[in-house]
Structure 1
């Protein structure tokens, strides 16, 4: 099968390696040519870890039209900060037969992507899905090398209400369906977004160490018992929002137990006993996606939902406020909210339909 992969970062190279390894023809697109110059020349990605090999790519390009004309299945692996821009770039070429999977959607990714397609006058019945997280625990180690540390055992995937997700999944590579677990509502993928729970607070609370450029392991060293307990307080607020919307999600501890097959009593012990976190070092700057993606496209919509429901979001709000003050940003202004995306939070209880967005745009 021809498969289009959008983005040549950590998860883009991991997904390209994985699907090439099992025999698919990979069309890899990246916006910046400088990022993929060597890949364009060699058309080989070198993978180590749980997938090993020098794996061929059919095409590596900055021409999105070429990829969309060659591939029915399009796997978006970029940070959520790029979703709206990608929808704009892809809008002229996306047709009814296309399937777009946001890996991951973060919070409301599929809604944001669909809304931007409508802004670009694309009203085709494109199938847009979002995952809760990426399949891979991975790091890109050079422009052509990726280290895949683990494959998560289960990744939630959802689409708009009223769309037959099983029929869509039958049209994507079988290998991905080993990991994807289809669910009925995007509430569970959006509020199930674990990146915002694991990424934001540790970055803010380790700001001094991050800026010191002293190498430390992000999870093992950066998440102490005290920080882990604070993360669980934010997670409790996330779980409360999900319960109020009648779509309960599992805790971050339970997610880690399932994803990595761990036996642990609390979040701290899960992190310390997860071998996949051995080699993951902290970013060397605060201007990193753990803040600039996971706060505006994770914590901000979570806080907005909670407050709309009348819930106290004290710990979630605290991290957003600290990030705003530390970095002189307004993450709430740049973040995803229902008002910006043309839907109503009350729609989440029964599930978002494409028609909900259309009605709010009128």
Structure 2
């Protein structure tokens, strides 16, 4: 299958290598243009970790070239790049294509769906709760793939295309997907914001000083209780919308195979198996710059729509606004485009299902 990968950071590189190894034909568009410079001539992409390979990536000069003849488009950028990328790809999408948003947050699928609906284009937009693999750039022309997820939640907008979206995901990445009710369930299944925000709060000065600190090994009992309490707000929000989503404990069991228990104990068990995973060495990290504006802020917005306060989410936003001297609500460039305050809760949920 010809697949356009939008974004060429660690995840985009990992997808490119993985799909090539599976016999597919990925073509990459790097919105920043950096990939064209890094892979000029016959340069190859070297992968280590879960996939050892050296593959020649195909780099598109622009968005239109990447999407031409592509059967599937995978959006693999951080959330603060969603709007820019969606605005770029929407005019070039055509009937018969499928879009995958990896990983989905902050109403990105709804924003794309509205743009396509205005053009009269009805195609599946599949949203993943997280990425299909974990990877990081290890050099200008290399990537280290540290994990390939055994299970991954997916939903498609509109829901009438759910089976088509699922089939495309399986054709590319195998039988690792579990179908969820709708895109709202995917939004409410993102566990990164509470985990990352709590861990950054507990290890703030270590990150700011650039120290080495273990990611999971630093989720102590106290940090774990913050994660658990924020998770309670997320679960209550899902219940208010009539949805059932995994708890943070379920996620640890599901993703890492550790025994259930308090979050701090489960994180300690993960740390024993993955001691090499370090926390950020800066406050300019996606743990804050992505997870606060595109994780906490949208959930608080959903809470306002349905009349459910999320005090810990609100406190997290306010604290990191103060810590970073930024206005993270203002940094979410998707929410102002959606006019959520004009929709009742039931109407918003119906639109998130494409009904």
Shift of 1:192: 0.5
Paired residue for 1:95?
A: 94
Matched, 1:178 2:175: yes
* 2:37 is equivalent to residue 37 of structure 1: yes
State the shift of 1:156 in Å.
Answer: 0.8
Partners of 2:178 and 2:351 in 1: CA distance: 17
Query: Within 2, Cα distance between the matches of 1:143 and 1:74?
Result: 24
Matched, 1:7 2:11: no
Q: Deviations over 1:143-178 (max 9, x none)?
A: 222221112221111122442211233345624242
Given that residues 31 and 62 in structure 1 are in contact (C-alpha distance below 8 angstroms), is that contact kept between their aligned partners in structure 2?
no
Aligned positions of 1:108-123 closer than 5 A: 108-116=107-115, 122-123=119-120
- RMSD after superposition: 2.2
Match of 2:205 in 1: 208
Partners of 1:40 and 1:61 within 8 A in 2:
no
Aligned counterparts of 1:235 and 1:42: Cα–Cα separation in 2: 47
Instruction: Map residues 1-362 of structure 1 onto 2, 5 A cutoff.
Output: 1-57=1-57, 59-116=58-115, 122-172=119-169, 174-221=171-218, 223-274=219-270, 277-335=274-332, 340-343=337-340, 344=343, 345-349=345-349, 352-354=352-354
Maintained 8 Å contact 2:134/2:145: yes
Per the alignment, in what secondary structure is the counterpart of residue 236 of structure 1? helix
Inter-CA distance 43–247: structure 2 relative to 1 (3 Å threshold):
farther
Q: Report the CA distance between 1:227 and its aligned residue.
A: 0.7
Q: TM-score, normalised by structure 1?
A: 0.89
Closer, same or farther: CA 115–297 of 1 in aligned 2, 3 Å: farther
Conserved 8 A contact 2:108-2:334: no
Indicate how the Cα distance of structure 1 residues 159 and 61 shifts in structure 2: closer, same or farther if over 3 A, else same.
Answer: same
Q: Distance in 2 between matches of 1:145 and 1:338?
A: 35
Partner of 1:359: none
Per the TM alignment, residue 336 of structure 1 is displaced from its structure 2 partner at its CA by 6.8
State the TM-score, normalizing by the size of structure 2: 0.91
- 1:86-131 deviation digits (Å, cap 9, x = unpaired): 121112211122211000112322012334556xx53322321211
CA contact (8 A) 1:152 1:259 kept: yes
Query: How many residues in Structure 1 have an aligned counterpart in Structure 2?
Result: 351
Q: Secondary structure at the match of 2:64?
A: helix
1: CA distance, partners of 2:4 / 2:44: 16
Instruction: Tell me the secondary structure at the aligned position of residue 268 of structure 1.
Output: helix
Change (3 A) 1:192 1:113: same
Uncovered stretches (5+) of structure 1, i.e. residues with no partner: 356-362
Q: What CA distance in whole angstroms lies between the structure 2 residues aligned with 1:198 and 1:283? A: 13
30-39 vs 244-253, greater mean Cα deviation: 30-39
Q: CA deviation at 1:245?
A: 0.6
Matched residue of 2:59: which SS?
strand
